[in-house]
Amino acid sequence: MEDISLHILDIAENSIRADAKTVEITITRDFEQDLLRIEVIDDGRGMDAATLARVRDPFFTTKHKKTGLGIPFLFQAAELTGGQVTVDSGPGKGTRVTATFHWGHVDRPPIGSMAETILTLIAGHPDREYIYEEREGNRVFRLDTREIKNDLENVPINTPEVLAAIRKMLKEQIKFEM
Amino acid sequence: MAKLTIADLKKIKEEYHANQALREGGFRVKITVHMGTCGIAAGARTIMNTVMEELAKSDKKDIAITTSGCAGLCSQEPMATIELAGEPPVKYIALTEEKMRKIFTEHVMGGKPVKEFALVQGHETTY
């Protein structure tokens, strides 16, 4: 993965395939501890203890293939910076993936384009809800598709004009790109 | 919470309802961009972005876009599947922005598959 926004897209796509109705993504820059913290929380079907125990094994997957690289890639990227990843999950309880990266570490990947990640999720699966929040000091940006859908009334959120308007807003408001 | 402006929403709603009257119902084309870990690492998000751009430019209202997981051919990512109503799906491999734009123009809009970029025509299981 070239950047952190692609890791987040990958984790969120896992949430969608776990039948999550809502995916909540939070990115926080912690100046005091020099950390970047990302959190992806879903209300999908969750994992049992046996699955959770093997979550970072690249040769374990619940899909019909031989490898499951997404989570192991995230562990590798975070740990290279002295950070860590925790995965909390239970059947019927959803899943929470938390990753920390040392902001100033030379191996920290760039954050990349969170705007493109959020747009890809909305356009690809408009029936789900997404909450995106980024925090950096006193600055807080929050997007909640439930509020946008409420304002749109019966216009689908994946209508090209709506996506273009959301893209414009995200490009203006999202500050995490480095 | 960041909000779209009232003017943005009003304009979008008016245009949407005006165009709704022209729609015959249902989608003519479904575009699926494969968004497994392998696809994302190979550039699937850029392909999705390209599809969104072309869709906006086309002004068509009968094209659906979605994402799916790994199709089992990781070395051939980024991949996309184009399904025209009543026709078997066509799976495209090793996509770039340029290839996707050509596929959009010729296959999605023109109805003619781009054979040189296609892997196969027909159904398969996606994970």
Q: Is the pLDDT of residue A33 over 80?
A: yes
- Quick one: what percent of chain A has pLDDT higher than 70? 95
Confidence of residue A94 (pLDDT cuts 50, 70, 90): very high
What mean pLDDT do residues A77-86 have? Answer: 95
Residue A141 has its nearest CB partner, among B2, B8, B52, at B2
Nearest to B52 among A65, A123, A142 (CB): A123
Which of A171-175, B64-68, B95-99, B118-122 is the least confident region?
B118-122
Q: pLDDT at residue B99 above 70?
A: yes
**Which DSSP letter does residue A110 get?**
P
**Across A44-69, average pLDDT:** 78
Helices (H) and strands (E) in chain B, counts: 4, 5
**The domain made up of B28-121 is a member of CATH 3.40.30.10:** yes
Over 60: is that where the pLDDT of A174 sits? yes
Could you state, in order of their start, the residue ranges of all structural domains in chain B? 28-121
Chain A touched by B37 (CB under 8 Å):
yes
> How far, in Å, CA of A122 to CA of B66, rounded?
9
In a domain, A8, yes or no: yes
Q: Between A and B, how many CB-CB pairs are < 8 A?
A: 98
| Pairwise pLDDT comparison (A176 vs B32), residue with the higher score | B32
**Nearest-by-Cβ selection for A169 from B2, B38, B70:** B2
Return the SS3 of B79.
coil
Chain A interface mutation, best of B45, B59, B66, B124, highest count of A Cβ atoms under 10 Å: B45
Q: In CATH, what number is assigned to the domain containing residue A10?
A: 3.30.565.10
Q: Does B8 touch chain A (CB under 8 A)?
A: yes
Q: How far apart are CA A170 and CA A115, in angstroms?
A: 5
Show the domain range for A122. 4-173
Distance CA B40, CA B60 (A): 27
B12-56 pLDDT per residue, tens: 777 776 555 444 457 899 999 999 999 999 999 999 999 999 999
Q: Domain count of chain A?
A: 1
